[in-house]
Amino acid sequence: MKYNFAQRMSKTPRSFVREILKVTENPEIISFGGGLPNPQSFPVKAISNAVNQLLAENGSDALQYSTTEGYEPLREYIAQRYFSQGLNVTADEILITNGSQQCLDLVGKVFVDKDDKILLEKPTYLAAIQAFSLYEPEFKSVPLQKDGVDLDALEDILSNENIKLFYTVTSFQNPTGITYSKRKREKLAKLLKKYETVLIEDNPYGELRFMGDFIPPVKSCLNEGILFGSFSKIVSPGMRLGWIVAPAEVMDKLIIAKQASDLHSNYFTQRVVYQYLKTNPIDEHIQKIRNLYKNQRNLMIRMMEKYFPPEVEYTQPEGGMFLWVTLPPGTSSMELFEMAIEENVAFVPGQAFYADGSGENTLRLNFTNSDDKSIEEGIQRLGLAIEKLLSEK
């Protein structure tokens, strides 16, 4: 049988990261490649209690089908939390999804026709490229600076191209760790309004700030924007719960797309997470995660200062899970990857995060899923591999 697949499949490769990281299954390899939260941060006991209590008190209800929008008390909880952070949204503007990854797919379904233009940050979240690719858009990219997108370049593109959506990760971006300053957020909102481009703000790491001051999402100054959130980094990624915040007109369409995809997100899990949130102090829990990640981030930076050649640059994120390394121009992080594997250490070469295939001399490091010893040892090994790469140049 010769299968005749839809054309869109030929334009969408498997996740490069998942492919490349197969080599890291070897237990000798220290991997800074994956993007996993630290499992120490998972509230296993509290979730176990929440499950037991839920089943004992509302078991048959929690095991039933439910509404597409999601469990109302959970949506109220999310709206309240936003309110306390200066963002005015109602439960009606929130749709519970299967992780924030599903938000990307739903936005693609609802907005993107073939050859529509989507503007991405350069670099951007790899799986956003993949999710949007299935809708066959044309990607444009705009460079990131230390404090967010390059606004001049952005205006240039918005004024010359008919851009439908601008996809951005505004806090502790995956892959760079970069966070938009307050000033840039405000200017970005103004520009998107001026050029009638839809804001797609993905914010799974916003709560993981371990230094500096809280800055509200861009959506707080752009009512018509669309914002994603997730429980993956503050409770558990395996539970696959996220949400999308959108104005009523967009919500209508999202609900249709979501119904067609999966009727509704896992209702039992929604009830468990709500039970957990109702009976546990989430702020204390998040603070523990922040402290843990701050120490891991600081240790990784100390080790990089010690073991990396001085011409290597890296970001110093104020939160999140990733660091971004830039090697001298003309070097290749794919070549470095081969050398690093020989030293038994892995990372993700940066090119994967560029829709236009550039970024050859960049790489992403995750600092949240390695213990201290592995960070010390792994960065030392990576430093050796970098020295080897530079000496062969």
Residues that bind ligand PMP (CB under 6 A): 35, 99-101, 125, 169, 174, 202, 204, 230, 232, 237, 242
- C-beta closer to ligand PMP: residue 154 or 208: 208
Is the CB of 66 or the CB of 230 nearer to ligand PMP?
230
CB closer to ligand PMP, 24 vs 174: 174
Residue 334 vs residues 89, 294, 327, 340: alpha-carbon distances, Å: 44, 28, 11, 10
CB of 327 to ligand PMP, least distance (A): 23
- 93 contacts 240 by C-beta, under 8 angstroms: no
Q: Which residue is nearest to ligand PMP (CB)?
A: 99
Q: At how many degrees (to 10) do helices 99-111 and 248-262 cross? A: 110
| Residue with smaller CB distance to ligand PMP, 68 or 368 | 368
Question: Smaller CB distance to ligand PMP: residue 101 or 270?
Answer: 101
DSSP structure string for 134-153: TT--EEEEEEEETTEE-HHH
User: Least distance from C-beta 231 to ligand PMP, angstroms?
Assistant: 7
* Comparison of 130 and 230: residue with beta carbon closer to ligand PMP: 230
Residue 173 Cβ, how far from ligand PMP at the closest point, in Å? 7
- Pick between residue 232 and residue 331 the one whose CB is nearest to ligand PMP: 232
Strand 138-145, strand 242-245: pairing: unpaired
Q: Identify which of residues 66 and 130 has a Cβ nearer to ligand PMP in the complex.
A: 130
Q: What is the DSSP letter of 319?
A: B
Q: Are 333 and 360 in contact (CB under 8 A)?
A: yes
Q: How far is the CB of 232 from ligand PMP (least distance, A)?
A: 3
Q: Report the alpha-carbon distance of residue 53 to residue 63 in Å, rounded.
A: 14
Interacting residues of 108 by C-beta distance below 8 A, sequence separation 6+? 131, 132, 134, 135, 137
Tokens of 118: 């989507």
Angle between helices 372-391 and 333-342 (to 10 degrees): 120
The nearest distance, CB 35 to ligand PMP, in angstroms, is: 5
Q: How far is the CB of 162 from ligand PMP (least distance, A)?
A: 25
* 393-to-177, 331, 371, 389 alpha-carbon distances in Å: 28, 8, 33, 7
Q: Which residues pair with 364 in a beta bridge?
A: 324, 348
SS3 call for 130: helix
